[in-house]
Chain A
């Protein structure tokens, strides 16, 4: 028996609106992609990457495995809601197909199946009933966790959750209501017809004894339908837009589309993909330092809501810790930089006056950069190393130095940075060099990402030193002290160089292993990204990081960045050395020992 009620309309309207909205949205996003990105995307469908994208959509969009790995309880919460709901929809449709042996039924039929089918007596009906009840139970446990999380976030091992806006509240309330209302409606149905399973039937019996079921039966289905409709209509304007967007993002990412220096639709898609899980809050060292408006989740929320973002945009260090932690893999650093460029007025100042160094020819170029010039010991150590190796190296910015452009880029000054990039490129290309060596990871990142230097291999000094040690051109010698290696943000998370510096340090000292290292390494607090961050906050970050290192009682802290070195050295609790200084010391030690043995053999001989 099928009655023909009207309660499905709220649900229908919501669904149609949502799908129409999403289709238009995706088309608009696609149109706004650059020509090359469009080509990439079209080509992508012919490649195997499609499978990877599907796999990731299931793993992250439905199962939320990335969150699961970071925080199992939180992962379960997301998984039970997303995957549970997904299965509920799929099983619901299978149930109807099994019942009617046909595909010819309106799509909302499965959603309100218990209403339309009071007497399921097809083969397997009992099993389906049990499965549907079980899935609903799983989802309800997720909803319960979500409610608990709002009230007591500590249970989830999280220090903080996110702040909500009105539209989010509407969406959140309807989402929380959908499943309890479904349970209510289905239980009332079970009260009449006993057409449910272990959960709904039991509840139904309770209802029949305690409530006047006929009075609220239709109402309950109306409410259930309304909650769905509300949720679907609110979804595009709430945080839940991340659910469909994340899938789009995953496909575009697998298509090889890269973030750009300008704010484009790919950036917008990433912004919408944020699920506001809040994991980035715990990763941010600034939170401990009393700054609580710059973190990525807030920053993304501010831009979505068109609020003032100046503080959160320019007050962050761009250390990348949140990017590393983000389970959605949003390119948070690039989003910030792109938005900074968009938000900045071009400088009225010209860098025309900068003078190029005298052009030289050489096989290898060493570019120290402004930061290394501010820590001359690193520069001297590099020279010591080159002298020892006897290579023909042109120290390109020995006297006349032109900045690599990274600080301007991070400040959003694209045009001014480009002027500097142009000058350096001309010098490098005219030198005939094959290798460019850098001792500052910020320069290194800039040269790799913002320069076009065909035929030139760009090497970070630690990588070069490691090669020299492997080739036996630099000595291995134990200097006899305990060290800690600090991964600089721009080198580790920024350029994914983690191992080579460690090999170099291990050749000269006993390195203590840390828990917070590599991708999870702390920031020194002085990254160039922090344009608008109070000095007290920076100092606090440095102090806390140094306190962490001090616990391991090392003899020296080794880093591979002039800026980190300068920042940490200020603290004075642990001596700080750059990896080049460590290497230069090892060379000196080695040379001294050689001299000693020569002297001793002479003594024995004479």
Chain B
């Protein structure tokens, strides 16, 4: 029996595990944190229809009990030795695991907003990231650092994406719609609050996204300003002043706000970035793993038996992640049955 190892227990890794187990293949699932689920555990409701993330995760609650699943939590893979078959994986605490086939589902990491110093994250308490906003929404409690309900909130798009100055020129795809999702959630919780979204352009790529955007304006009275934030400063009472350029009018703009939410982009995980240095698998320009091609092999690597699933190859929504994981599971099964390589 061939040994299959899946790295990463986010929804991508979970979906691949579920399908392989269902087809009767025993798998080893390795997750660096102490729990399964990955990033969406932090998010309350998911676009496009506000499904609670728990509902997605529920599909996988029975997995850990499966006798064919070997689950290694708190284990971070640092290196893979591709020089001989079976391949060998090494964890950070020195465990070596051998595998005939590996599915890399190491996901993404959030852009570190402190690198955009001028936006004030880590300097002014009123500046938070979209991930922290998700937590507040989950707790149904949105407050300013001084404990009051904010009267004005500004969402800033493209923080750490489409920005040559921070070295990320790509679009993270999901933050526009996430901003609208969060803006609506916020408005539901704080009907009195004024909400602004500062965008470069809005990337409403999903079938139902545009409607959500129109709804945000019509029903929730959310205001959209086309323009990039240039800098934030703080007043003595801890409220924030933001400077931006309104690119529709072509003039600088200044605004006071109680809270600033930075829509942080999705970056390649440390795992794939390190691969660029250790020269294992090919890495694309933006640090994500590079699939064999962009059409019919988006889950395959250049190496035999090595596959990718989910956001380890680039930004994706939950639905896209699951679909990608399913396609990868199919490729892996064909490979294990000797029908494909």
Chain A residues packing against B (C-beta within 8 Å): 353, 373-377, 380, 526, 535-536, 538-539, 542, 566, 569-570, 572
Which of A374, A376, A535 has the most chain B CB atoms closer than 10 A to its own CB? A376
Offer 10 A-B interface pairs, CB within 8 angstroms, sorted by A. A373-B118, A374-B118, A374-B231, A376-B117, A377-B123, A526-B165, A535-B169, A538-B164, A539-B167, A570-B167
Q: Which residue of A lies closest to B232 (CB)?
A: A376
In the bound complex, what is the Cα–Cα distance between A538 and B118 (angstroms)?
Answer: 21
Chief secondary structure at chain B's binding surface = mixed
Grouping DSSP codes into helix (H, G, I), strand (E, B) and loop, the A interface class, with mixed when no group exceeds half, is: helix
Choose among B112, B118, B251 the residue that contacts A376 (Cβ–Cβ < 8 A): B118
User: Whole-angstrom distance from the CB of A83 to the nearest CB of chain B?
Assistant: 49
Contact residues in A for B169 (Cβ distance below 8 Å) = 535
Measured in the bound complex, the distance between the Cα atoms of B118 and A524 in whole Å is 19
Which are the 5 A-B pairs with shortest beta-carbon distances?
A374-B118, A375-B117, A535-B164, A570-B167, A373-B231
Q: Which of B115, B120, B233, B285 contacts A570 (CB 8 A)?
A: B115
Q: Contacts A377-B123, A535-B167: A566 and B251 contacting too (C-beta < 8 A)?
A: no
Minimum distance in angstroms from A374 CB to a CB of chain B = 4
Q: Chain B contacts of A536 at CB under 8 A?
A: 285
B283 CB to closest chain A CB, in angstroms? Answer: 13
Instruction: Give the Cβ gap from A387 to chain B, nearest Cβ, in Å.
Output: 15
Q: Which residue of A lies closest to B169 (CB)?
A: A535
Q: Given the complex, which residues of A lie within 8 Å of B112, measured CB to CB?
A: 572
B167 touches A566 (CB 8 A): no
Closest chain B residue to A373, Cβ basis: B231
Known: A535-B167, A535-B169, A570-B166. A376 touches B115 (CB 8 A): no
| Closest beta carbon of chain B to A576's beta carbon, Å | 10
Interface core residue of B112, B164, B167, B233 (most chain A CB under 10 Å): B167
A150 to B251, CA, bound (A): 57
Q: How far is the CB of A272 from the nearest CB of chain B, in Å?
A: 36
Taking CB as reference atom, which chain B residue is nearest A562?
Answer: B117
Spell out B's residues near A (CB within 8 Å). 112, 115, 117-118, 120, 123, 164-167, 169, 231, 233, 251, 285
8 Å CB contact of A569 from B115, B231, B233, B251: B115
User: Which chain B positions have C-beta within 8 A of A570?
Assistant: 115, 166-167
B240 CB to nearest chain A CB (Å): 12
Set of chain B residues within 8 Å of A572, measured between Cβ atoms: 112
Name the residue of chain B whose CB is nearest to the CB of A570.
B167
**Could you tell me if A353 and B251 are in contact, using CB atoms closer than 8 angstroms?**
yes
Shortest Cβ distance from residue A538 to the other chain B in the assembled complex, whole angstroms = 8
In the bound complex, do residue A374 and residue B285 qualify as a contact, i.e. CB atoms below 8 Å apart? Answer: no
A376 to B243 CA separation, bound complex (whole angstroms): 14
Q: Could you tell me if B123 and A566 are in contact, using CB atoms closer than 8 angstroms?
A: no
Residue from the list B118, B164, B167 in contact with A375, Cβ < 8 A:
B118
Contacts A353-B251, A536-B285 hold; do A374 and B117 have CB atoms under 8 A apart?
Answer: yes
B117 lies within 8 A of A377 (CB): yes
B285's closest neighbor in chain A, by CB? A536
Of all chain B residues, which has the CB nearest A547?
B277
Bound-state CA distance A296–B173 (Å) is 40
Q: How far is the CB of A318 from chain B (nearest CB, A)?
A: 18
- Pairwise interchain contact A566-B285, C-beta atoms closer than 8 A: no
Write out the residue numbers on chain A whose beta carbons fall within 8 Å of the beta carbon of B118: 373-376
| Neighbouring A residues of B164 by C-beta, 8 Å | 535, 538
For A375, list chain B residues within 8 Å (CB).
Answer: 117-118
**Distance in Å: Cβ of B229 to nearest Cβ of chain A:** 11
- Residues of B within 8 Å of A535, CB to CB, are 164, 167, 169
